[in-house]
Amino acid sequence: MKTQEYIETLPKGACRSRGEGLYSVMARTPLGDVSAEQLDTINAVVKEFGLPGVRVTARQRIQLIGIPEDKLRTVIERLGLVGEGRKYFVQACAGNSSCRFGVRDSMEMGARLEEFLNGFDLPAKLKSGVSGCPMSCGESYVRDIGLAGTPKGWTVLFGGNAGRRVRKGDVLAKGVSDEEALKIVGNALDFYAKNAKKKERTARFVERVGIDAVLEAVNGA
């Protein structure tokens, strides 16, 4: 099997060519969480194959860089699971598990949101951010789906974007429970999936149909 054919058998984005016969591989680190065993494995692989090192990406992933083509498959076999484990990217801050400002468990909610989103088939990619407090270290206000924790519950946001056309997400609800937040997210995504154009991100969708239409769909469901 040729290298490109092999790469296509891996999760999307798990391995990328960097030119001159070198590749990078993304270790699977859901919500940026890395166990001691994973760190040992990554460190051992970097040392064994004489790789230049790793970088921590903006998406809370650990990327091994500078892998020669003739070592690529062996590196991936040593690493084990690579790439995204879910259909849609979810980012989360530490929340009340280890941050003194955290008022809600953003890591647990992030994991629940990842599992929840796995059941959707959407017209474009979706990025979500879960933050344990209003300071929004999980970038909740500039994600397609955002959850920001407060002492009274979650603020639910929709239609944010951090790309070239930056857009702050609109508030769909405030002070809601975990279950209520997921229901609101589900209602918004159902409306989006049925009415969005192919490859239309939520930010552009909200600009086109208006946030009132989204709110009506969420509250009327």
Check residues 141 and 3 and name the one with the higher pLDDT. 141
Q: What is the pLDDT of residue 221?
A: 59
Question: What pLDDT was estimated at residue 205?
Answer: 98
Least confident of 91-100, 125-134, 166-175: 91-100
pLDDT over threshold 90, residue 154: yes
Section 162-186 average pLDDT: 97
Q: Does 76 score more than 80 pLDDT?
A: yes
**Whether residue 212 has pLDDT greater than 80:** yes
Q: Quick: pLDDT tens for 57-74.
A: 877 788 999 999 999 999
> Which residues of the chain does CATH 3.90.480.10 include?
3-79
Question: Which part of the chain is CATH 3.30.413.10?
Answer: 89-220
Query: Does domain 89-220 bear CATH number 3.30.413.10?
Result: yes
* DSSP state string for the chain: --HHHHHHTSPTTSEEEEETTEEEEEE--GGG---HHHHHHHHHHHHHTT--EEEE-TTS-EEEEEEEGGGHHHHHHHH-SBS-SSSSEEEE--GGGT-TT--S-HHHHHHHHHHHHTT---SS--EEEEESSTT-TT-GGGSSEEEEEETTEEEEEES-B-SSS-BPPEEEEEEE-HHHHHHHHHHHHHHHHHHPPTT--HHHHHHHH-HHHHHHHHHH-
Task: Inform me whether the pLDDT recorded for 18 exceeds 90.
Answer: no
For domain 3-79, the CATH architecture is Alpha-Beta Complex (3.90)
pLDDT digits (tens, 9 = 90+) for 109-136: 999 999 999 999 999 999 999 999 999 9
More confident: 2 or 160: 160
Given pLDDT bands bounded at 50, 70 and 90, which one contains residue 36? very high
